[in-house]
């Protein structure tokens, strides 16, 4: 905590109520990795996959610093996670207080679906709601991205943007977050397939770096930017075919960058062979999850086939429509 920190909300003078908040996961459909270098990217919320955070104040020992006890899926949270909660209090101008926190999540951890972003957003929501602090979504996204630095060094801000707004977003660094309105009465059906492999986000960024910074780097970044802007238009227009083309080309370019190992490439090929209009990695790559765009006319049948094909892998159905579901 900084030496000049002067809290606006002094919790020592009143009790903080217990509260539970949630945050949805996210999936990038076009633009991962390139977004780190300033291009646009498009990400969607995973409303059906959520992180829950329950917080209750505990008595502080006189003269002792605030103590944060967190349990993640029944396991004691690391000191780094505890520090994230204290840092969240500082960002919100809250005098640090001791608390117990429990979390539950339907998101696979470390799979590129925003598990760390959901924790950051849910913690900030709990603290701000418990103390009646007005926290607009744009500021929530900014504060959550500051907390994300504990996990990913220098994140782009995309993950916390889509998790904070819980809507599809067109995102680029240093630009206003743009919410993407989905075409009215149109619905997109996606499938997420867990590879059961985990990889370091920072390691994948290092692997991809030469692809985006070499002699052809600017040209490649420009193409990712074009694909993201095209995907943005496709979502607004209800053009599933055009969206599929953007996703597939983006996935092929990620393969060129070296972040799609052979086993994930095989999963992508099989998903396309089962009828998915598009299939690609989502997130940093190396492992994690692949995302498929299902044919709206055959999505139920395709999802059943994918479940049969990938037994032993977590499969998740995700829908996106104008109603925000």
253 domain residue, yes or no: yes
Mean pLDDT, range 266-290, rounded to an integer? 96
pLDDT at 315: 96
CA distances from 203 to 172, 252, 285, 309 (A): 22, 20, 10, 30
Q: Are 238 and 183 in contact (CB under 8 A)?
A: yes
* Whether 165 and 253 share a structural domain: no
pLDDT at 5: 63
pLDDT tens digits for range 48-74: 899 999 999 988 776 678 888 888 877
Q: Are 193 and 181 in contact (CB under 8 A)?
A: no
Q: Residues near 6 by Cβ (< 8 Å), separated by ≥ 6?
A: none
CATH of the domain at 208: 3.30.70.890
Mean pLDDT, range 133-145, rounded to an integer? 95
* Whether 22 and 141 share a structural domain: yes
123 domain residue, yes or no: yes
Within 13 Å of residue 21, how many CA atoms lie on the same side as its CB?
21
pLDDT at 59: 81
pLDDT tens digits for range 80-111: 888 899 999 999 999 889 999 999 999 988 88
pLDDT at 185: 78
Element (H, E) at 297: none
Mean pLDDT of the chain: 91
Proportion of the chain above pLDDT 90, given as a percent: 73
* Whether 199 and 105 share a structural domain: no
CATH of the domain at 150: 3.30.230.10
pLDDT surpassing 80 at residue 6: no
Which tokens sit at 313?
A: 């892998």
Q: How many domains does the chain have?
A: 2
* Whether 190 and 316 share a structural domain: yes
Which tokens sit at 277?
A: 């209009």
CA–CA distance, 58 with 75 (Å, rounded to integer): 19
CA–CA distance, 24 with 17 (Å, rounded to integer): 23
CA–CA distance, 229 with 170 (Å, rounded to integer): 8
Last residue of one domain, picked from the residues 139, 154, 178: 178
CA–CA distance, 53 with 199 (Å, rounded to integer): 25
- List strand residue ranges (DSSP E) for 106-260, in order: 169-171, 178-179, 187-194
Global pTM reads: 0.90
Beta bridge pairs of residue 22: 52
């Amino acid at each position: 905590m900084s030496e000049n920190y002067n809290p606006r909300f002094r919790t020592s003078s009143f009790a903080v109520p217990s509260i539970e908040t949630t945050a949805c996961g996210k999936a990038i459909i076009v633009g991962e990795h390139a977004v780190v270098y300033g291009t646009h990217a498009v990400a969607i919320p995973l409303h059906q996959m959520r992180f829950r955070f329950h917080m209750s104040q505990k008595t502080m020992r006189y003269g002792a610093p605030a103590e944060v006890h967190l349990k993640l899926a029944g396991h004691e949270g690391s000191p780094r996670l505890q520090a994230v909660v204290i840092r969240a209090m500082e960002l919100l101008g809250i005098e640090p207080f001791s608390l117990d926190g429990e979390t539950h999540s339907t998101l696979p951890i470390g799979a590129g679906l925003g598990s760390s972003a959901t924790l950051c957003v849910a913690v900030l929501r709990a603290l701000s709601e418990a103390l009646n602090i007005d926290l607009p979504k744009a500021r929530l996204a900014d504060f959550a991205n500051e907390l994300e630095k504990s996990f990913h060094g220098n994140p782009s801000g995309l993950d916390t943007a889509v998790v904070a707004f819980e809507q599809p977003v067109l995102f680029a660094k240093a630009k206003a977050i743009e919410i993407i309105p989905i075409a009215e009465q149109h619905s997109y059906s996606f499938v997420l397939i867990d590879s059961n492999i985990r990889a370091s986000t920072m390691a994948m960024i290092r692997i991809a770096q030469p692809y985006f910074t070499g002699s052809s780097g600017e040209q490649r970044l420009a193409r990712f930017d074009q694909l993201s802007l095209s995907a943005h238009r496709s979502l607004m227009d209800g053009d599933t075919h055009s969206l599929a083309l953007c996703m597939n080309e983006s996935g092929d370019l990620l393969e060129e960058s070296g972040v799609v190992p052979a086993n994930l490439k095989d999963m992508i090929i099989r998903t396309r062979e089962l009828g998915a209009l598009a299939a690609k990695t989502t997130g940093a790559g190396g492992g994690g999850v692949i995302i498929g765009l299902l044919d709206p006319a055959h999505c139920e049948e395709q999802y059943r086939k994918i479940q049969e094909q990938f037994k032993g892998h977590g499969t998740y159905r995700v829908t996106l429509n104008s109603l925000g579901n």
